[in-house]
Amino acid sequence: MNALRTLALAGLLLLAGASARADVIHLESGGQYRGKIVSETSRSVTIKTRGGGTIRVPRDEISRIVKEEDLAETFKKRRAKLEDSRSTKAWCELGDWARSKKLEKQARGCYERALKLDEGCKPAREALGHKLHQGRWHTLEEYNRDVLGLVLYKGDWVTPADKANLEAGLVKRDGRWVMPKDESKKPKPAKPKP
């Protein structure tokens, strides 16, 4: 039974890193189980793992239990407190917190909210990847297109000349545009005679 528990714990720890919500059962032995606690009695605690399995842990093996709040719920609560705020600093701080928790969509929303309050908010602009050029902020796309004169080609920003060369089927070798080597036209080495 202990080997089975150890195996279950190892699998559970691998899955734990990707879990946004995790209650944690700390064991007397030093290990821990992560997941969602689904039931508790005076004798045991049952936890459901992210993989869908459940594990019943006897209370005498538990040193402590930590119930963690879902990050998305925590974000919603923090955002609700700021809803009427006109502080760009507060919105950027919430955006930074969300980004640190890998809540990228929510972070972006916070930075955009700061920009609605103040279009020149430098921390929000920088967090969104905007570039300052000659006193004007540009999105990365605007900067590449309008300032650098680049064009988008198959997901990459290139010069118009490079785009024409790429469309013509040329490849860049040693800093020069050349026709690709056609491997099928190379003479095949003669096979040695037995």
Residue 185: pLDDT above 70? no
Q: Rounded mean pLDDT of 54-67? A: 94
Residue 119: pLDDT above 70? yes
Please report which confidence band the pLDDT of residue 70 belongs to, taking 50, 70 and 90 as the band edges.
Answer: confident
Q: What is the pTM of this model?
A: 0.58
Task: Dump pLDDT digits (tens) for 100-116.
Answer: 988 999 999 999 999 99
Is the CB of residue 177 less than 8 Å from the CB of residue 171?
yes
Token pair 């080597």: residue: 181
Task: Dump pLDDT digits (tens) for 13-40.
Answer: 444 443 455 788 999 999 988 899 999 9
Residue 127: pLDDT above 80? yes
pLDDT of residue 1: 47
Those residues with Cβ within 8 angstroms of residue 146's Cβ, 6 or more apart along the chain or in another chain: 138
3 state DSSP class of 13: helix
Q: Rounded mean pLDDT of 167-194? A: 78
d(CA 190, CA 132): 61
pLDDT of residue 22: 77
pLDDT of residue 141: 96
Sign of CA dihedral 116, 121, 127, 133: positive
CATH, range 71-140: 1.25.40.10
**CATH number, domain 2-67, options 3.10.20.30, 3.40.50.10540, 2.30.30.90, 2.30.30.100:** 2.30.30.100
- Enumerate the domain spans of the chain: 2-67, 71-140, 151-182
% of the chain at pLDDT higher than 70? 83
Q: Rounded mean pLDDT of 34-51? A: 91
% of the chain at pLDDT higher than 90? 69
Pull the structure tokens for residue 176. 């020069």
E strand spans, the chain: 23-27, 32-40, 44-48, 54-58, 62-67, 131-133, 136-138, 151-153, 156-158, 171-173, 176-178
